[in-house]
């Protein structure tokens, strides 16, 4: 009897060992659609942020290398844009406030131009706009899938792949002309957009956001 019980116990243990443990792959990743919904709601409440755009390739025939700076939900922005001009990188400073774009080249002072001209190179003013920016981008996304949990610039994030509508994405990433499958990294502790990466017809654009709601003072240059 004891031998039979021991044999039965041994067979049970072997059977359990052959079945993969449910917890072996780590905790389940959250639903991608819910992550985007939570991030859209959080981003609607953001008043200021720091942005950085890095472009690999050519955008709309413009050799835009990148841009960085600060912006507000009201559409004001300040920072720099880097262009590749005949193999030489040129950095332009800009201030966008109200209906006016102030632009300064490598030499000379600021020129005063209509704000609408910003879109011909890169216009960051819509990023925090609830109806035209990141909240609208996430609200219109489809086929969202959470791919992984990973760290970006020291922030714990979930990487989500989804298809984003061209009408909105084109305002945020220059060169987007059709619905695009891209990746976004959403904060795991607070669902901010930390990073987004999107393919372009002739390259790739990566956008990073940080310093949410930090004090920002954007005024016309003196």
How many domains is the chain built from?
Answer: 1
Q: Domain of 100?
A: 29-210
Q: How confident is the model at residue 84 (pLDDT cuts 50, 70, 90)?
A: confident
For residue 153, being part of any structural domain is answered with yes
pLDDT at 210 over 80: yes
Going by C-beta distance under 8 Å and a sequence separation of 6 or more, which residues neighbour residue 13? none
- Picking from 213, 222, 212, 187, the residue whose alpha carbon sits closest to that of residue 36 is 187
**How would you classify the pairing of strands 180-187 and 88-97?**
unpaired
For residue 24, being part of any structural domain is answered with no
pLDDT average, residue stretch 200-220: 92
For residue 71, being part of any structural domain is answered with yes
pLDDT of residue 208: 97
Is residue 59 within 8 Å of 210, Cβ to Cβ? Answer: no
pLDDT average, residue stretch 64-73: 92
Mean pLDDT of the chain: 84
pLDDT of residue 14: 31
- % of the chain beyond a pLDDT of 70: 84
pLDDT average, residue stretch 51-59: 84
For residue 221, being part of any structural domain is answered with no
pLDDT of residue 6: 36
66-88 per-residue burial string, b: 16 or more CB within 10 A, e: under 16? bbebbbbbebbbbbebbbeeeee
For residue 105, being part of any structural domain is answered with yes
pLDDT average, residue stretch 103-121: 85
Write the pLDDT tens digit of every residue in 131-179: 999 999 999 999 999 999 999 999 999 999 999 999 999 888 877 778 9
**How would you classify the pairing of strands 77-85 and 48-57?**
unpaired
pLDDT at 21 over 60: no
pLDDT of residue 219: 93
Write the pLDDT tens digit of every residue in 117-132: 877 667 888 999 999 9
Give the integer Cα–Cα distance in Å for 132 and 162.
18
For residue 7, being part of any structural domain is answered with no
pLDDT at 106 over 90: no
pLDDT at 75 over 70: yes
For residue 21, being part of any structural domain is answered with no
Is residue 196 within 8 Å of 159, Cβ to Cβ? Answer: no
**pTM, entire model:** 0.83
Torsion of CA 127, 131, 137, 140, to 10 degrees: 180
Give the tokens for residue 218.
């954007």
Give the integer Cα–Cα distance in Å for 40 and 215.
22
pLDDT average, residue stretch 200-217: 92
Residue 142's region, left for phi above 0, alpha for psi from -120 to 50, else beta, is beta
Q: Which CATH number is 191's domain given?
A: 2.50.20.20
- % of the chain beyond a pLDDT of 90: 62
For residue 89, being part of any structural domain is answered with yes
């Amino acid at each position: 009897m004891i031998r039979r019980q021991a044999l039965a116990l041994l067979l049970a243990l072997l059977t359990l060992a052959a079945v993969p443990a449910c917890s072996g792959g780590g905790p389940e990743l959250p639903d991608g659609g819910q992550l985007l919904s939570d991030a859209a709601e959080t981003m609607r409440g953001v008043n200021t942020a720091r942005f950085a755009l890095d472009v690999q390739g050519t955008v709309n025939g413009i050799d835009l290398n990148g841009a960085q700076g600060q912006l507000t939900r009201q559409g004001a922005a300040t920072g720099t844009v880097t262009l590749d001009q005949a193999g030489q990188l040129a950095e332009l400073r800009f201030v966008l406030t109200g209906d006016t774009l102030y632009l300064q080249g490598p030499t000379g002072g600021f020129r005063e131009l209509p704000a609408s001209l910003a879109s011909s190179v890169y216009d960051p003013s819509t990023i925090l706009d609830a109806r035209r920016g990141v909240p609208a981008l996430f609200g219109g996304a489809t086929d969202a899938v959470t791919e992984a949990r990973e760290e970006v610039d020291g922030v714990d994030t979930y990487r989500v792949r989804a298809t984003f509508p061209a009408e909105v994405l084109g305002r945020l990433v220059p060169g987007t002309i059709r619905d695009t499958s891209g990746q976004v990294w959403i904060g795991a502790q607070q669902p901010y957009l930390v990073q987004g990466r999107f393919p372009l017809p002739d390259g790739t654009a990566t956008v990073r956001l940080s310093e949410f709601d930090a004090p920002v003072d954007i005024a016309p240059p003196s």
